[in-house]
Amino acid sequence: MDYAHIHQEDAEVYAAITGEDKRQAEGLELIPSENYVSLAVREAMASTLTNKYSEGYPGKRYYGGQEFTDNVERLAIARAKELFGAGFANVQPLGGANANIAAYMALMQPGDTILGMDLSHGGHLTHGHPVTYISKVFNFVRYGMKDVETGEIDYDALEATAKETRPKVILAGFSAYPRTLDWKRIADIAHGVDALAVADVAHIAGLIAGEALENPFMHGFDVLTTTTHKTLRGPRGGMILTRDDAEIAKKIDKAVFPGLQGGPHMHQIAAKAISFREALQPSFKTYARDVITNAQAMAEVFKAHGTRLLTGGTDNHLILADVWSSFNISGKDAEHRLDEAGITLNKNSIADDTRGPMDPSGIRFGTPALTTRGFNAEECKEVAELMISVLTNGDEKTITDARTRVKEMADAHPVPESFV
């Protein structure tokens, strides 16, 4: 993308943007929640739609001049519904956290109980961690894994907690859990205590859309919340999908606007519409399958080197490794060392972590962005070997050699401009 006007107007911002362009081009992105978008999505984000206020919904706006914004939002809604088999879609949430909070507001009253996955076992901050403001509004109770080595969720304990606490919502979903969930079991538990079943599929939305993982709607879930980036490969944003209940959909619309947000970001919604069209193409199914194949290939390399992987491997796009016990290095130091080699991932707490969250025992990494760049399983195995060499021996020569090879691999796989 040409930044000529930024270059002319603001040299400092221009330097930061072009520096980031160079970093992304020359390095390998392994943060599981990050990906690359098409040039069409980026152009939509920079379009004149950013100038327009559009409070309300298509056909029911508070300002005039909405002919084209209505068209864009209707396109995004229709494509989202088709992509996920939903009856209703709200594409206005500005992010995943906004989508989750709006869903809570729509489905519960302050003080009501929600049962969600423990952050330390793979959940997300917005699933009720005490540091969040939303945890002061609703009563969050938690479930987790029975066995951190296999990743098995303690469904019996989940059911017992549900019967004891009678939540209004049971929330399934995660930000650092490498396995699949038993969607039907969770939906049955929820409906057995007259609760709604809500899935936060932010991390795996693209894998569901690409039919590489099961869709919770097929197993009785009532609502899905998600981001539109990560594996879905769209702009940073959020979305809420309702299976077939019009009354729930109306409550969600009211909770998003005017309950939580003001004017939607129409340039972002246009970008969402484009990315949903991209995800509806047959090639996206191949992409989704390859993301999982590549992640499993990397996991096998780490396991072959004796690395302790939380849950023993992966069924999706991400891997959680205990580097403290495996390489005698903290997650923070591992992140920094790999960054020097041009491999970007994030430090991450693991279940029953004895270290603090800012310098934890684990790292989290995955394959959505590598797969977008065209990496295959064998190349992902080589990336895993490079990571292990750097984690094992952090001397200057090892890191320099790894960075040289990383740049060669990155140069061989430039970020594609189009996915259609």
CATH number for region 283-412: 3.90.1150.10
State how far the alpha carbon of 351 is from the alpha carbons of 123, 146, 181, 223, 305, in Å: 11, 11, 17, 28, 21
Question: Which of the 8 DSSP states describes residue 133?
Answer: G
Q: Enter the pTM of the model.
A: 0.97
What pLDDT digit, counting tens, does each position of 355-386 carry? 999 999 999 999 999 999 999 999 999 999 99
Active site residue 2: no
Domain boundaries, the chain: 43-279, 283-412
Predicted confidence (pLDDT) at residue 5 exceeds the cutoff of 90? yes
Read off the pLDDT band of 121 (50, 70, 90). Answer: confident
Which CATH code, of 1.10.260.40, 3.40.50.300, 3.40.640.10, 3.40.50.1220, is assigned to 43-279? 3.40.640.10
What pLDDT digit, counting tens, does each position of 277-300 carry? 999 999 999 999 999 999 999 999
Q: Which of 159, 200, 290, 322 is catalytic?
A: 200
**Residue ranges in 280-394 assigned as alpha helix (H):** 282-304, 323-327, 331-340, 368-372, 377-392
Q: Which of 61, 184, 185, 236 is catalytic?
A: 236
CB 316 within 8 A of CB 203: yes
Active site residue 53: yes
Q: Indicate the average pLDDT of the chain.
A: 97
CATH topology match: 43-279 vs 283-412: no
What pLDDT digit, counting tens, does each position of 230-261 carry? 999 999 999 999 999 999 999 999 999 999 99
What pLDDT digit, counting tens, does each position of 216-230 carry? 999 999 999 999 999
Distance from first CA to last CA of the chain, Å, rounded?
Answer: 18
Give the pLDDT mean for 85-108.
Answer: 97
Q: For position 128, what pLDDT does the model report?
A: 84
What pLDDT digit, counting tens, does each position of 203-216 carry? 999 999 999 999 99
| Secondary structure of 208-224 as H, E, C letters | HHCCCCCCHHHHCCCEE
Query: What number of residues does the chain have?
Result: 420
Question: Which of the 8 DSSP states describes residue 312?
Answer: G
Active site residue 182: no
Active site residue 379: no
Alpha carbon distance 331, 355 (integer Å)? 9
Active site residue 55: yes
Burial 229-247 (b: 16+ CB within 10 A, else e): bbbbbbbbbbbbbbbeeee
What pLDDT digit, counting tens, does each position of 301-324 carry? 999 999 999 999 999 999 999 999
Q: For position 420, what pLDDT does the model report?
A: 84
Active site residue 236: yes
Give the pLDDT mean for 26-32.
Answer: 98
